[in-house]
A and B are shown apart, each in its own frame.
Chain A
Amino acid sequence: MITEQTPMISVKGLTKVYGSTVAADDVSFAIDKGSIFGLLGTNGAGKTTTFKCALGLAFPSAGTVRFDGEPLRPELFERISYVPERNALYGWMTGRDHLELTKRSFRRYDAARAQALLDLFAFDIKKKVKQLSKGQQSALALTMAFSTRPDILVLDEPSSGLDPVHQRHVLDLMIDAAAGGATILFSSHQIGQVERAADHVAIMHKGKIVLAGDVEELRAGEKVVEATFDRDAPAIAALDSDPHVRRVMRQGRILRAYIRDGGNGVAKAIDAAKPVSLRVLNQNLEDIFLAAVGDDSSSAMATLNREN
């Protein structure tokens, strides 16, 4: 993403090495004010490591992080809220205690906003955190994060454990906060949520960012030709030499060709192999994600398809 204004979050060449494992490898991205940036990746892709390094919770091996043009310093946390992937709340304290802690720690704490969030998530703040369900703990963490009206929100799997209704509330809160000028960096395994909320995404795989860009542009750029055969999907030589074909995936009886323009010629080439069904689909974010990270489980999936 190339921007003229100073990005609210700028990560350049971030690298984190644990022993012989490179958890984050030269990660770079920039997020403009008021933007919602989704970080996608499989488990262990390096999303949480990136968040932790960005917020000073882990020391990066290399790279720089800037918030609104400044390196991270404690005072900046007045403007930043972070919801970690796993519960970091104090089990022996009540929800009310946590909100009091937030109130005493952040000058920007807004009691009316906190009450509105409590009404939204509807859980008992008199209970100790250890007595709350995972979803309620997530709701408490989100209430604490949004109650300070931060300029920057870093949310690592914010909907984890929440029911579908509250997941939608979280999306609405994010979109509402961004509309008010907040900048949001978040990760989620639920690609549908990312597709709905984010205007930009980056896809991480094995510590690297393998694809990044505007969600609409990424979706508009490619289509998928999907064919199902009554036998194992055959290798079609014409696809290998077709300049429009970016990638071909064969999983048992299913063949998918990811194409950029020129879909008719590709569809004809596949149709010549006599599939049972053939359709051309607009690519969604899930297709883009799977194409970007590859599918290490494709051989196992092919076996399952054959058994069916």
Chain B
Amino acid sequence: MYYKEWLCVRRSLIVLSIGLVALLGIVGIVALVHVNVGGKPDTSPQGMTGFVDFFGITALLAGGIMATILGTALARENDDHLEVAWTKPVSRTEYASTVMLVDAAGILIAICLGLVFHALIHVELRQPISMQTSAADVSNTVRFLLFPFAWYALIVALSARLRGGGIVQALV
């Protein structure tokens, strides 16, 4: 039942990974040219990236991109595929819920992939990440984590009745 959506998520993750690898390569080249690779990393509080900033940028970019791509899942079914989607032995509510759960898993995987690639970029640039967090940082991290899912829900809601949903993707 969720197989088609999983294929869609997998395809999107592959595209995202290719983009992140390309970005990693570009940053690596830039680092080689402009950064003093022989020098020691700046481990002073001013020289380190805070964990919330690190996590937030990743969640916004990787999670947000994935949420935008997958957010038109139901609209894509409207685009001439209902005869396949709606003639399965499951209720439409169950079908739509499963599709959205698979997409949510895809967004979570995208964030994890993003974190790995972002960490690698920091290694390339020799910029340490400060892992010291406060109570406020925890709530901010949770907000950053939830943002892609809220973004996904918004796009699903806006596009669910459309055919294809490309117009919503284009607008956002």
A positions within 8 Å CB-CB of B? 55-57, 74-78, 80-82, 84, 86-90, 92-93, 97, 100-101, 104-107
Whole-angstrom CA separation of A86 from B7 in the bound complex: 23
Q: Is there contact, CB below 8 Å, between B89 and A88? A: no
A-B contact pairs, 28 of them (CB 8 A): A55-B86, A55-B87, A56-B86, A57-B82, A57-B83, A74-B89, A74-B90, A74-B91, A74-B92, A75-B89, A76-B89, A81-B87, A84-B83, A86-B80, A88-B82, A88-B84, A89-B81, A90-B4, A90-B84, A92-B11, A93-B7, A104-B3, A105-B1, A105-B3, A105-B89, A105-B90, A106-B88, A106-B89
> What is the number of contacts between chain A and chain B, taking CB atoms within 8 Å?
55
Given A97-B7, A101-B4, the answer on whether A77 and B81 have CB atoms closer than 8 Å is no
Chain B residues close to A by CB (< 8 Å)? 1, 3-4, 7, 11, 80-84, 86-92, 94
3 tightest Cβ-Cβ pairs between the two chains A and B: A88-B83, A84-B83, A78-B89
Chain A residues closer than 8 Å to B91, beta-carbon distance: 74
Closest chain A CB from B86 CB (angstroms):
6
Query: Nearest chain B CB to A43's CB is how many angstroms away?
Result: 19
Q: In angstroms, how far is the closest chain B Cβ from the Cβ of A56?
A: 7
* Contact in complex: A77, B80 (CB < 8 Å): no
Query: Which residues does chain A contribute within 8 Å of B11, judged by CB atoms?
Result: 92
**A160 nearest CB across to chain B (Å):** 14
Extra inter-chain contacts (4) besides given A74-B88, A77-B88, CB under 8 Å: A78-B89, A86-B80, A90-B81, A100-B3
Interface-centre pick from A56, A77, A89, A90 (highest chain B CB count, 10 A): A90
Cα distance, A81 to B83, chains bound together (Å): 10
* Closest Cβ–Cβ distance, residue A232 to chain B (whole Å): 48
A57: chain B residues within 8 A (beta carbon): 82-83, 86-87
Residues of A with C-beta under 8 A to B81: 88-90
Residue in chain B with minimal CB distance to A78: B89
> Complex Cα distance A92/B8, Å?
9
* A82 close to B83 (CB less than 8 A): yes
Q: B89–A77 contact, CB under 8 A?
A: yes
Query: Shortest Cβ distance from B106 into chain A, in angstroms?
Result: 16
Q: In the complex, A138→B89 CA distance in Å?
A: 22
Give the nearest-CB partner of A97 in chain B. B7
- Alpha-carbon distance between A303 and B94 when the two chains are bound, in angstroms: 59
Q: Report B-chain residues with C-beta under 8 Å of the C-beta of A97.
A: 3-4, 7
Inter-chain CA distance A90–B80, complex, in Å, is: 9
Complex interface: chain A residues within 8 A of B87 (CB): 55, 57, 77, 80-82
B156 shortest CB reach to chain A, Å: 19
In the assembled complex, which residues on chain A have CB atoms less than 8 Å from the CB atom of B92? 74
Residues of B within 8 A of A93 (CB): 4, 7
Interface centre among B7, B80, B86, B87 (most CB of A within 10 A): B87
Q: How far is the CA of A57 from the CA of B88 in the complex (A)?
A: 12
Complex Cα spacing A15 to B11, Å: 42
Complex contact B84–A89 (CB within 8 A): yes
Residues of B within 8 A of A82 (CB): 83, 87
Determine the residue in chain B with the shortest Cβ distance to A74: B91
- Complex: how many Å from CA A81 to CA B87? 8
A84 to B1, CA, bound (A): 19
Q: In angstroms, how far is the closest chain A Cβ from the Cβ of B51? A: 38
In chain B, what residue has the closest Cβ to A108? B89
Of A86, A88, A97, chain B has the most CB atoms within 10 Å of the CB of A88
